[in-house]
């Protein structure tokens, strides 16, 4: 089976999707990306793309902020995604990476007077962290970049150096993931995930103004908690030590799904196993993303032929 990518405005074999070494985005981090999951439903033999429109809407807005003229509408981006996924034909969970980038072969730090282009590829992708046993985190010595430095909500490639520094430091010190504080010392987010804690039966998560990427999984979990479990989420700044005292903690993200956190800075969270609310939310979430919960089927776009969107 040949892998296909969308590159230079057409579908091409992945092996032929190559760009020049002078490409602006490679040198200056001048690209916006997103990540979308295709979740395989074995019974229906169907690939469900989760909240694909929301991801492309975010990418479109972020591109605008970065003065990248993304040459497709959100509808067109959704259609290209469905077609690309169908062409690749995987029968397992996948990750889809759309990237809008400054494509000029040019030297010079700026975002104006440059060409823009768009690419997308698909790759098989299982769980990013241990979704069953949970993960062990540290609070990073690296601080989250402020909105006035590089806007974290823009999902700009260059910003991810901050995440990469934190992730590698965590890994080298024997942890699975880093939790990064913002410049004020409040909890911001993981290297590629939003953070939630459960405290006295309520969910708590940092607000968008604490330099987080406002995650689509975060939004999904807030809605599922409210609608299905009657649990409200309070969006407010969270102190580092609130993490240590939480009853439960978990991370959310397209790659990470909903990953329990069982330990932070060598302190057990709750009793050090996956918490009850976390478990319930996980079950709900996995049914929803695989198209197994009819109430939320509008969030799932079937990618394979007969059922695909027009």
Q: Which residues are catalytic?
A: 155
**Residue 212, SS3?**
coil
Backbone angles phi, psi at 192, to 5 degrees: -150, 30
**Contacting residue, 39, 81, 217, 259, with ligand PMP by CB under 6 A:** 217
CA 255 to chain centre: 6
Q: How many CB atoms lie within 10 A of CB 270?
A: 18
**Residue 244, SS3?**
helix
Residues 23-62 that bind ligand PMP (CB under 6 A): 35
Residue 271: HSE in the Cβ half-sphere, 13 Å Cα cutoff: 4
17 vs 52, which CB is nearer to ligand PMP?
52
**Of 97, 308, 282, nearest in space to 196 by CA:** 282
Q: Does 216 bind ligand PMP (CB under 6 A)?
A: yes
CA distance 149 to 183: 11
Residues 145-184 that bind ligand PMP (CB under 6 A): 163
**Contacting residue, 38, 134, 215, 291, with ligand PMP by CB under 6 A:** 215
> How many chain residues touch ligand PMP (CB under 6 A)?
14
- Letters for 239-278 (x = contact with ligand PMP by CB under 6 A, - = none) are -------------xxx------------------------
34 vs 117, which CB is nearer to ligand PMP?
34
Q: Does 213 bind ligand PMP (CB under 6 A)?
A: yes
Q: How many CB atoms lie within 10 A of CB 29?
A: 16
134 vs 192, which CB is nearer to ligand PMP?
192
The interface region with ligand PMP, picked from 82-90, 116-124, 216-224, 229-237 by CB under 6 A, is 216-224
Judge whether 52 and 81 are in contact, CB under 8 Å: yes
CA distance 251 to 122: 24
Q: How far is the CB of 252 from ligand PMP (least distance, A)?
A: 6
The interface region with ligand PMP, picked from 21-29, 69-77, 190-198, 302-310 by CB under 6 A, is 190-198
CA distance 299 to 301: 7
CA distance 265 to 259: 17
Q: How far is the CB of 211 from ligand PMP (least distance, A)?
A: 10
**Of 246, 259, 130, nearest in space to 197 by CA:** 246
Q: Does 218 bind ligand PMP (CB under 6 A)?
A: yes
Q: How far is the CB of 90 from ligand PMP (least distance, A)?
A: 20
The interface region with ligand PMP, picked from 17-25, 64-72, 215-223, 263-271 by CB under 6 A, is 215-223
Q: How far is the CB of 237 from ligand PMP (least distance, A)?
A: 16
98 vs 291, which CB is nearer to ligand PMP?
98
Q: Does 194 bind ligand PMP (CB under 6 A)?
A: yes
CA distance 305 to 98: 21
Judge whether 144 and 188 are in contact, CB under 8 Å: yes
DSSP at 150 = S
Residues forming contacts to ligand PMP in the complex (CB under 6 A) are: 35, 163, 189, 192-194, 213, 215-218, 252-254
């Amino acid at each position: 089976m040949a892998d296909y990518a969308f590159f230079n405005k057409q579908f091409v074999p992945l092996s032929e999707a190559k760009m020049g070494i002078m490409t602006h985005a490679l040198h200056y981090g001048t690209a916006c990306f997103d990540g979308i999951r295709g979740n395989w439903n074995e019974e229906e033999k169907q690939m469900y793309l989760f909240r694909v429109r929301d991801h492309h809407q975010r990418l479109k807005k972020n591109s605008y902020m970065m003065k990248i003229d993304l040459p497709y509408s959100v509808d067109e981006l959704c259609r290209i995604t469905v077609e690309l996924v169908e062409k690749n034909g995987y029968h397992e969970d996948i990750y889809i990476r759309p990237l809008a980038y400054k494509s000029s072969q040019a030297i010079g730090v700026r975002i104006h007077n440059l060409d823009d282009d768009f690419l997308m590829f698909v790759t098989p992708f299982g769980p990013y962290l241990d979704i069953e046993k949970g993960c062990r985190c540290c609070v990073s010595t690296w601080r989250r970049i402020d909105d006035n430095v590089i806007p974290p909500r823009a999902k700009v490639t260059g910003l991810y150096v901050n995440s990469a520094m934190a992730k590698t430091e965590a890994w080298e010190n024997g942890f699975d993931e880093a939790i990064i504080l913002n410049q004020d010392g409040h909890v911001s987010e993981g290297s590629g995930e939003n953070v939630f804690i459960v405290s006295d039966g309520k969910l708590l998560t940092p607000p968008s103004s604490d330099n987080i990427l406002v995650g689509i999984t975060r939004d999904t979990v807030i809605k599922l908690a409210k609608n299905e479990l009657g649990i409200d989420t309070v969006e407010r700044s969270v102190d580092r030590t609130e993490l240590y005292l939480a009853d439960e903690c978990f991370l959310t993200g397209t790659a990470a799904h909903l990953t329990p956190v069982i330990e932070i800075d060598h302190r057990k969270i709750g009793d050090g196993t996956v918490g009850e609310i976390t478990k319930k939310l996980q079950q709900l979430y996995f049914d929803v993303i695989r198209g197994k919960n009819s109430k939320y089927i509008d969030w799932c776009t079937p990618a394979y032929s007969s059922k695909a969107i027009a």
